[in-house]
Amino acid sequence: MAFPDDEARIGLLGQQTFCQIALETTKKSPIANKRPILPAVYRIAEEEVPASDRLNTIKRTASDPTYNCHGLTFSSRRTTIEDASQVSLILAEEPYQEVLDLKCVLPGDIVAYYEKGSITHTGIVVANEPVGETFRRVLILSKWGGGFEAIHLVDDCTYSRTSDGRKYFRFEHKEHELWTLGSNTSTIGSLPTTQSSSPGDWSIL
């Protein structure tokens, strides 16, 4: 998601030229995206982020308009994915499974923030720790518009202010259900309990 004045800022600083990179789901559906051809012509200053959102935030990188939050989460920081429908397409056509129990959320899972049913922001879970008996401290790595990457509490960022819900997802490809090749195996969610049947088998120790 972009900050509201991203396009206006680009307009003030001159015409920017964008291109698309080849990006598609595993089902071959193209994913609309854009990235600047020219070097970055602006950056979002730290002071533009509300002070209340910076209190518990670790600024991880300098500003970079090449990619946004969805570009961080789904395209390895290579491009900007703006349209929420494209994010929904990725979640539908890639093997993402919703994690319903917050206690089961793991580092590497993703979080999606929703507003009126549309995804407005995504990030990557980096920690999920219990605080007392009833609360959990969930830390997220996300990209704030064309600005910087930040590590922040899941409820403590610019986008959570307008969010009316969020969901967690985990990438679980069917092939990943096999911990080893050539032997009886356990599935995702439990550690492997079998040994390789031959020296040529793959196993996770």
Give the pLDDT confidence of 124-144 residue by residue, as tens digits: 999 999 998 889 999 999 998
Q: What domains can be seen in the chain, in order of their start residue?
A: 6-177 (3.90.1720)
pLDDT at 137: 94
Tell me what pLDDT residue 72 has: 97
pLDDT digits (tens, 9 = 90+) for 102-128: 999 999 999 999 999 999 999 999 999
Alpha-carbon gap, residue 79 to 76, rounded angstroms: 8
Nearest C-alpha neighbor of 60 from the set 158, 170, 140: 140
Q: What is the mean pLDDT of residues 42-65?
A: 67
The answer to pTM > 0.85 is: no
